A and B are shown apart, each in its own frame.
Chain A
C-alpha cells in the first residue's frame, strides 16, 4: 500500500527535475590535407571584331579545371546535460533522511504513554510523545526520500556525451578555364536559326543583320565576350539600329534625328564611312532652324471625320481592297495617309500593337494619351486613319508600320 502511494509521488518528483541540455561542437586540429582535381564543362568565350562590313566572331570552348584542397579533422559534438536542482535536491534529501533517522531513534527515548489529559469523541486518549516524534520522522522522510531520489536521478542523468565524426572541409579552391579549343557546332544568334561553325570562327556581313545582336548562344550557353568585344558589339548594334530604322529625314522629328545622330557616333567605331549620313542629319536640322525643311509635325485632330478631312487618305487597306497589294511594300508608300480596317491580334506593348488586315499583319503605333487608344483591345474590329511608315523589325519579324492618328470601332 505504501509502495503504491510512493510510486506516483517519486515519478512526479523525478519528472519535475528538468534537465538542461547544451550541445556544442568542437573541432580538433587538422589531421591531414589532400587535393582533389576535377574537370567540368567550362565557359565559351568569344572575341568579336569588325572589318566593315565583315563581322568576325572567334569563339573558343574551355573546360573548367578545378583544384580543391581539403582539410581532414575530427569534429566532436559534445552534449552536456545538467540540472540546477541536483545539488539542492541532494542536500535537502540527505538532510531530511538523516533528520528522520534521528527522529525515529530519539522517539525510542521518549514516553510512549498516551496523553491521558485528553479523550476524543471516539473514547481514545491523545497521542503519546513518541507518536509525535515518529510523526515528525515520517514527515521528514516523506520530504527527504523524494528529494533524494530526484537528486540521485538528476546526478545520474547529468554528464556529457561526445559524438565524433570525421570531417573533410574545403579549405581552398581554384578554378580556371583550361583546355581551350576552337568552338565547333551550332551557334544561335538572337534565337534565330543556328549557324554551323566548324573552325571556331563565325563570319557575318553587317548588312545581313536585320536586328542588333543581343544574344549569342552555343547549346544554350551564352558565349562570353570580353570587354573589348562588348564595346565593338555596342558599336555594331548602333550601326544595325541606324540601318534598320531608316526613314526619310524630312519625316522625322528632331528628337529622332538627334537619336539617330547618336547611333552614328557610336557606329563610327566600327564603320568609318558615316560622315555622309551625319552631314545629312546636320543639314536637315539646319534646314528646320532656317525654315527650309518640308518637315511638318503631325496635326492633331478630334474626330475620325476631321482626320479624313485633314489627312485626305489616298489608299484604303482593308480586306478586298485593291490597295492592299501596296501594303507589303509599304516602304514605297512611306509617309502617305491611309485608311485601314482590321482586327486586333496583338495587344499593345508600349505604343505598338498588331492588327490583322486579311492575311497581312501590320504594326500599329498608338500614341499614349490619345482618347481613342482604349479601343485597341484584343479582338476589336477597328478602322482608322494612319500615316504609313517604313517597315519595322521586331523579334526577327518585319511588318509594315502604320502610325495611327485616329481609330474607332467599326464593321
Chain B
C-alpha cells in the first residue's frame, strides 16, 4: 500500500519554487564544499566565501529576487545541466557538468559575477 502511494506521490509535484530559491539552489551546488570545482573559482572569481559572495553579487539573498536576464526558463535550462547527477541537495554536481554550464550559460555567469546584464 505504501509503495504505490509513494509512486503516485512521486508522480506529483509541489508548487513552483520562487526565483530566489532557484537562484540560491544553483549557487549552493556551485559552491558545494569541500570539492568545489576549479572552474567556479576561475570563472566566477570567488574564494572560500563562495556562496555568500555569489548570493550578494546576484541579489538572490533577497527573498523578493526575480529573474530578468537570464529569465527563469533560461536559468532552469542551465540548472538542468548541473543537476544531471541528481536533484537532491546532498548530491554534488559533476565538474564536467559545471564546466559545461559555465561555458554554455554566459547570462548566468554574468549574473553571478555581479555585472549588470
Contacts and interface: CB of A to CB of B under 8 A. Distances in A.
B42 interface: no
Contacts of A132: 5-6, 8-9, 12
B116 interface: no
A227 interface: no
Interface stretch (A133-141, A293-301, A307-315): A133-141
A95 to B, nearest CB: 10
Interface residues of A, number: 25
Contacts of B13: 120, 122, 124-127
Contacts of B12: 127, 131-132, 135
Given A114-B15, A125-B13, A135-B12, A119 B21 contact: yes
A15 interface: no
A119 B21 CA distance: 9
Interface in B1-15: 1-2, 4-15
A138 B87 contact: no
A126 B14 contact: yes
B15 to A, nearest CB: 5
Contacts of B79: 121, 123
A377 interface: no
Nearest to B72: A123
Interface in A105-132: 114-128, 131-132
Say what secondary structure dominates the interface of chain B. helix
Interface string B80-95: 1001000111000000
A132 B11 CA distance: 10
Nearest to B16: A124
B25 interface: yes
A124 B8 contact: no
B22 A119 contact: yes
Given A121-B80, A132-B5, 17 more contacts: A99-B1, A115-B14, A117-B88, A120-B87, A121-B79, A122-B13, A123-B17, A123-B76, A124-B14, A125-B14, A125-B16, A127-B10, A132-B8, A135-B5, A135-B6, A136-B5, A136-B8
A115 B1 CA distance: 22
Given A124-B14, A128-B14, A139-B4, A118 B21 contact: no
Nearest to A143: B4
Contacts of A117: 88-89
Interface of B: 1-2, 4-17, 21-22, 25, 72, 76, 79-80, 83, 87-89
6 contacts: A121-B79, A123-B72, A123-B79, A125-B14, A126-B13, A127-B10
A136 B2 contact: yes
Contacts of B25: 119
Say what secondary structure dominates the interface of chain A. mixed
B72 A131 contact: no
A99 B5 CA distance: 12
Nearest to A96: B1
Which has the most chain A C-beta neighbours within 10 Å: B1, B25, B80? B1
A313 to B, nearest CB: 113
Q: Which 10 A-B pairs have the closest CB atoms?
A: A114-B14, A136-B5, A135-B8, A125-B14, A132-B9, A139-B4, A135-B9, A127-B12, A124-B13, A121-B80
B89 A127 contact: no
B113 to A, nearest CB: 23
A391 to B, nearest CB: 106
A118 B9 contact: no
Contacts of A120: 13, 87
Interface in A69-121: 99, 103, 114-121
Nearest to A115: B14
Given A116-B21, A119-B25, A136-B1, A125 B15 contact: yes
B22 A123 contact: yes
Nearest to A131: B12
Nearest to A124: B13
B102 to A, nearest CB: 18
Contacts of B87: 118-121
A118 B11 CA distance: 14
B76 A124 contact: no
Contacts of A126: 13-14
A4 B88 CA distance: 37
A301 to B, nearest CB: 107
